[in-house]
Amino acid sequence: MEKLILQEQDLINAVCLFHARFKQTQPELVEVELCYDDTVGYTAEAFVNGVMDEYKQANFITAIRLYIDEQLGKDSMAARINLDIDDELGMIANIEW
């Protein structure tokens, strides 16, 4: 079984790419803040021109899947993705195929 860890910057990049696609802008213009709340779980906030959109965990994982497909060239639909918080690395995604 293949394993991969996406670090916090990879997760930010994933949301930037995903959000830019839907807002028809450049990924470099998107600012992202990753969040965790005991009630809501893992989320990401994406900002373009001061306007914020929140991605709940399901859409956050969809953004990661797009990143896996397009940036890593791997089959994201066959992947199991678990978000976690690492004391040293911050928010990470543990991925297994």
pLDDT of residue 62: 98
| Single pTM value for the model | 0.94
Chain segment 15-66, per-residue pLDDT in tens? 999 999 999 999 999 999 999 999 999 999 999 999 999 999 999 999 999 9
Where do we find the tokens 């993705």? 81
Average confidence score pLDDT of the chain? 97
Angstrom CA distances, 27 to 8, 11, 77, 78, stand at: 16, 13, 23, 26
Closest C-alpha among 55, 44, 49, 59 to residue 11 = 44
What dihedral do alpha carbons 40, 84, 70, 77 form, nearest 10°?
-80
pLDDT tops 90 at residue 1: no
How far apart (Å, rounded) are the C-alpha atoms in residues 19 and 95?
21
